Amino acid sequence: MAALNDKTRINREITARELRVVGAQGENLGVLSLSDALKAAAEANLDLIEISPNAVPPVAKVADYGKFLYELKKKEGAARAKAKVSETKEVQIKVGTGENDMRLKAKKAAEWLAEGHRVRAELFLKGRYKGMDEAFLKTRLEKFLLLIPYAYRVAEPITKSPKGFAGIIERDPKAAKPAAAPKQETHENK
Structural domain boundaries, residue 123:
88-171
- Structural domain count of the chain: 2
CA atoms within 13 A on the CB side of 88: 10
Residue 12 sits at φ, ψ, to 5 deg, of -75, -10
Output the tens digit of pLDDT for each of the chain's 190 residues: 444 456 788 888 888 889 999 888 888 888 888 888 888 888 889 988 988 888 888 899 999 988 988 988 998 888 887 777 778 889 999 988 888 999 999 999 999 888 888 899 999 988 888 888 888 888 888 888 888 888 888 888 888 988 889 998 888 877 655 444 444 444 444 4
CATH number for the domain spanning 122: value is 3.30.110.10
pLDDT at residue 185 in the model: 42
Per-residue confidence (pLDDT) for residue 5, from 0 to 100: 52
Residue 185: inside a domain: no
CA dihedral 58, 59, 62, 63 (to 10 degrees): -110
Q: What is the CATH number of the domain that holds 17?
A: 3.10.20.80
On whether both 20 and 72 belong to a single domain, the answer is yes
Q: Quote the pTM value.
A: 0.49
CA-angle at 63, arms to 57 and 65, nearest 5°: 105
In a domain? residue 69: yes
**What's the confidence (pLDDT) of residue 188?**
44
Domain shared by 52 and 92, yes or no: no
Q: Does residue 139 form part of some domain? A: yes
